[in-house]
Amino acid sequence: MTTTVVSIAYHSGYGHTAVLAEAVRAGAVEAGAEVHLINVDEITDEQWATLDRSDAIVFGSPTYMGTASGAFHVFAEASSKRWFGQDWKDKLAAGFTNSGSKSGDKLHTLQFFQILAGQHGMHWVNLGLHPGWNNSEGSEHDLNRLGVFAGAAAQTNVDEGPDAVHKADIQTAEHLGRRVTDTARVFLQGRAA
């Protein structure tokens, strides 16, 4: 059986989203994937080719002003060259984001990623976790503490650096990396059969 190839196409303005990208990478590696971190504001032709050969692409961006960052939007528009040839059709996709507020309109960023994936004919992988921290026995240390289903969401105070990304949010991103890898493996086995 071939190794699942997962690429993480992300932008990080101040380093917080890079912490999450690394967590998604760690989870995917733990699940047995070959993983590539691709910073989209520095993307090369070789990295575009890596995305093209990937089984799954995980999109990541901070949420700025209610949507993905400008650098991620530039990448999304540049991906239209792949759209014309349907180069990413039937790949898996997933996403993660971070913002300063508990909500911060992170859902809109994840929905932007879902629509981008849908336009490419990709299959979206959701988080697959119940919400955490929503009952009297829960805590801020629960996985999916912000209760988002579409992807991994994180909250970091705006006056703190990347080292302050919440441990539960990092663990949730690791979970997403494992889930994407496991789901991609099932897809690959199905195609091989």
Q: Cα torsion for 64, 51, 146, 165, to the nearest 10°?
A: -70
Q: Which helix (H) or strand (E) holds 52?
A: helix 45-53
| Residue 77 confidence (pLDDT) | 98
- 181-190 tens-digit pLDDT: 999 999 999 9
pLDDT tops 80 at residue 174: yes
Residue appearing with tokens 């929905």: 111
pTM above 0.95, yes or no: yes
β-strand partners of 76? none
pLDDT of res. 86: 96
Contact 148, 134 (CB under 8 A): no
Q: Is 62 exposed, middle or buried (0-12, 13-18, 19+ CB in 10 A)?
A: buried
Model pLDDT, residue 184:
97
CA distance 147 to 158: 20
Closest CA to 165 of 174, 155, 173, 175: 155
Kindly indicate the confidence band of residue 2, based on its pLDDT and cuts at 50, 70 and 90.
confident
Q: Which residue has the tokens 């997403």?
A: 176
> In percent, how much of the chain has pLDDT > 70?
99
Q: What percent of the chain shows pLDDT beyond 90? A: 97
Tokens encoding 137: 């026995």
pLDDT digits (tens, 9 = 90+) for 66-115: 999 999 999 999 999 999 999 999 999 999 999 999 998 999 999 999 99
Cα–Cα distances in angstroms (integers) from residue 139 to residues 105, 132, 168, 185, in the given order: 22, 7, 10, 33
pLDDT at 148: 97
* Residue spans of beta strands (DSSP E) within 55-105: 56-64, 67-68, 92-99
- Stretch 166-185: mean pLDDT: 98
What pLDDT is recorded for position 192?
85
